Structure 1
Amino acid sequence: MFTLAHLSDIHLSPMPRAKRRDLLNKRAIGYVNWHRGRKFVHRREVLDLLTRDLHERKPDHIAVTGDLVNLGLPEEFLRAAEWLNHLGSPGEVTAIPGNHDAYVRIHPEAGTLHWRPYMEANADGKALVPTPETQFPFVRRFGDVAVVALSSAIPTMPFIAAGKIGTAQRAALANALETLGREGLFRVVLVHHPPLPGQGWHRGLRDAGKVKHIFKRHGVELVLHGHDHVHMVQELETSSGPGFVIGVPSASEAVAGRAPAARYNEYAIARNGNGWRVEMVGRAVAASPEHVWECERRVLRER
């Protein structure tokens, strides 16, 4: 059995002090929004409780599906790299960027390049599916489980939080799913934006319909995403059987009187005859953080 934990939308706090020149762009609006409300929502003590719980449960691997930072300030990326290092080693943790990690255009050396060890294929994955020049998708293999990591993070105009996979990544995704399917592996896709149609142009995945078609045609067992800060489970019929598309709430957002609580999910994946057994366990923290509790246990697949 392989256990995979999934958390998303970290929005690491506290946010570093911004210099005036850093706010001469889209960040100015985000800076005001942070200090007027978001800093009271995304709480470090909540995130720390979930992180401690992860360490105690010791899953085989941890997936982080983006929005580690808030405004894309250079110091935020350094602090996020420190947080990832605390969460686990690059061999224990896979990360991908979200729209807040591409809040404005920034040179990679000042941004997500600090996380590169967490955003690279491992040797077993690269042997099956070479990483394209775009760096995404990359593949990590852990025995019978293969993780395919996409990036939907693109810089956008103010008040826009949309994402896009793009032609090159979609072609590489189709090839990866086909190759991994022939190997008989359990395929987990990581993406920040919900990869199914239905969200508005201003915050949805703009090529979600094309991505959904790839899933249906080439097969996928599990797709994990964040972005909407809500728990959502959707079943998708594919050429290889049922796949599940699951979003998780923010790992740092907990507000009194508002659901859902901050949460991460843990998936126990095991072969079951010619198929798979997959059980999902939700672990949550309330607005008055004292402990982490099991908020949901659900068998997704029995075969």
Structure 2
Amino acid sequence: MPVFTLAHLSDIHLSPMPRARRRDLFGKRALGYVNWHRGRKFVHRREILDLLTRDLIERKPDHIAVTGDLVNLGLPEEFLRAAEWLHHLGPPSRVTAIPGNHDAYVRLHPEAGTDHWQPFMEANSDGAALMPTPETRFPFVRRFGDVAIVALSSAIPTMPFIAAGKVGEAQRIHVAKVLEELGEQGLFRVLLIHHPPLRDQAGWHRGLRDAAKFTDVLKRHGAELVLHGHNHAQTVHELETATGTAIVVGVPSASEAVEGGVPAARYNEYCIARAGNGWHVEMVGRSVAATPEHVWECERRVLRER
């Protein structure tokens, strides 16, 4: 198998914020609107995102995964702008997206929200042959040669000041079956989820509510690589499973400004190749430097070598 390159970015928080009508600002949206204008708009900057995505596009990875929080307050116009941004990133055949908690900020009819991203959130033909997408849309599978991407949704509407997520029993049952099937076929399984999937990676108010049950699924059925966002931080964890070690990687926000010379906005690129009876996986981190603002290779690390 030739090297397959997969780029991963998350927590886009696309700006600028569209003008909000007074009638749109109720409940959680009103609090988020104030929070955005008081501070978050200075953190999540469009020019930082554009710098990072321009670098990503120029590197031409085989595929791009976006793990949620494309919008901020769940305003209908935000979903339209995010759809335009996804198409700029690449065609649906080369870009996979899943929602995050900000994409489920309030209860919104799908036609006014994530339906605009549907071409990026559905199985390809090879993936559908492995597992038809359930009526709930998630999980879905995309297959590229020996690499299979399994996409989940942990996005649920929550009360103000809560950013928690949940996979739910239906998705856990489906993903257990598909991980088992993909493992038996000897495929490299990449799992996409917005919230950190392991226990104690985030507190109750912003963590994955069923993290313990989801971790049990991973332990029983295995996965080679699990990619998430949400925490706006670069993290790497190892989880021992029935089929070997699963590498769990979180990536920072792709739009976060550099503070105090510390790199913030970042995406990761994974170079995946067979190595004997196992896999070789190298992670290359690409981050925005402070002065002058440019994208540089901030990390190169072998995650799997067998």
Which stretch shifts more, 23-32 or 94-103? 23-32
Which stretch shifts more, 255-264 or 170-179? 255-264
Once the two structures are superposed, residues 17-53 of structure 1 have per-residue CA deviations (whole angstroms, 9 ceiling, x without a partner) of 1000000221000000000000000011110011111
The match for 2:277 is: 274
Of residues 200, 204, 211, the one that matches 1:201 is: 204
Of residues 237, 240, 261, the one that matches 1:237 is: 240
Does 2:144 match 1:150? no
What percentage of residue pairs aligned between the two structures are identical?
80
Q: Given that residues 101 and 112 in structure 1 are in contact (C-alpha distance below 8 angstroms), is that contact kept between their aligned partners in structure 2?
A: yes
Q: Given that residues 60 and 92 in structure 1 are in contact (C-alpha distance below 8 angstroms), is that contact kept between their aligned partners in structure 2?
A: yes
The match for 1:246 is: 249
Distance 1:104 1:284, change over 3 A: same
Of residues 262, 266, 286, the one that matches 2:265 is: 262
The match for 1:116 is: 118
CA distance in 2, matches of 1:287, 1:254: 9
Paired residue type of 2:272: I
- 1:129 to partner: Cα distance: 1.0
Paired residue type of 1:302: E
- 1:55 to partner: Cα distance: 1.1
Q: Given that residues 289 and 296 in structure 2 are in contact (C-alpha distance below 8 angstroms), is that contact kept between their aligned partners in structure 1?
A: no
Of residues 69, 72, 75, the one that matches 1:70 is: 72
Paired residue type of 1:246: V
The match for 2:300 is: 297
Does 2:26 match 1:28? no
Q: Given that residues 262 and 290 in structure 2 are in contact (C-alpha distance below 8 angstroms), is that contact kept between their aligned partners in structure 1?
A: no
Q: Given that residues 68 and 101 in structure 1 are in contact (C-alpha distance below 8 angstroms), is that contact kept between their aligned partners in structure 2?
A: yes
The match for 2:192 is: 190
- 1:130 to partner: Cα distance: 1.2
Q: What secondary structure does 2:102 align onto?
A: helix
Q: Given that residues 46 and 289 in structure 1 are in contact (C-alpha distance below 8 angstroms), is that contact kept between their aligned partners in structure 2?
A: no
CA distance in 2, matches of 1:300, 1:45: 31
Paired residue type of 1:100: H
Paired residue type of 1:137: P
The match for 1:5 is: 7
Distance 1:44 1:142, change over 3 A: same
Paired residue type of 1:142: F
Count of aligned residue pairs for this structure pair? 303
- 1:259 to partner: Cα distance: 3.9
The match for 1:42 is: 44
Tell me the C-alpha RMSD between the 2 structures: 0.9
Which stretch shifts more, 47-56 or 146-155? 47-56
Structure 1 unaligned runs (5+)?
none
The match for 2:172 is: 170
Structure 2 unaligned runs (5+)?
none
TM-score, normalising length: structure 2: 0.98
CA distance in 2, matches of 1:167, 1:301: 30
The match for 2:92 is: 90
CA distance in 2, matches of 1:13, 1:31: 13
CA distance in 2, matches of 1:72, 1:228: 19
CA distance in 1, matches of 2:154, 2:134: 15
Q: Given that residues 48 and 255 in structure 2 are in contact (C-alpha distance below 8 angstroms), is that contact kept between their aligned partners in structure 1?
A: yes
Q: Given that residues 258 and 288 in structure 2 are in contact (C-alpha distance below 8 angstroms), is that contact kept between their aligned partners in structure 1?
A: no
TM-score, normalising length: structure 1: 0.99
The match for 2:227 is: 224
Q: Given that residues 254 and 286 in structure 1 are in contact (C-alpha distance below 8 angstroms), is that contact kept between their aligned partners in structure 2?
A: no
The match for 1:137 is: 139
Distance 1:289 1:155, change over 3 A: farther
Distance 1:129 1:289, change over 3 A: farther
CA distance in 2, matches of 1:135, 1:124: 16
Q: Given that residues 220 and 242 in structure 2 are in contact (C-alpha distance below 8 angstroms), is that contact kept between their aligned partners in structure 1?
A: yes
Q: What secondary structure does 1:280 align onto?
A: strand
Paired residue type of 1:121: A
Q: What secondary structure does 1:174 align onto?
A: helix
CA distance in 2, matches of 1:258, 1:230: 16
CA distance in 2, matches of 1:35, 1:76: 16
Does 2:21 match 1:19? yes
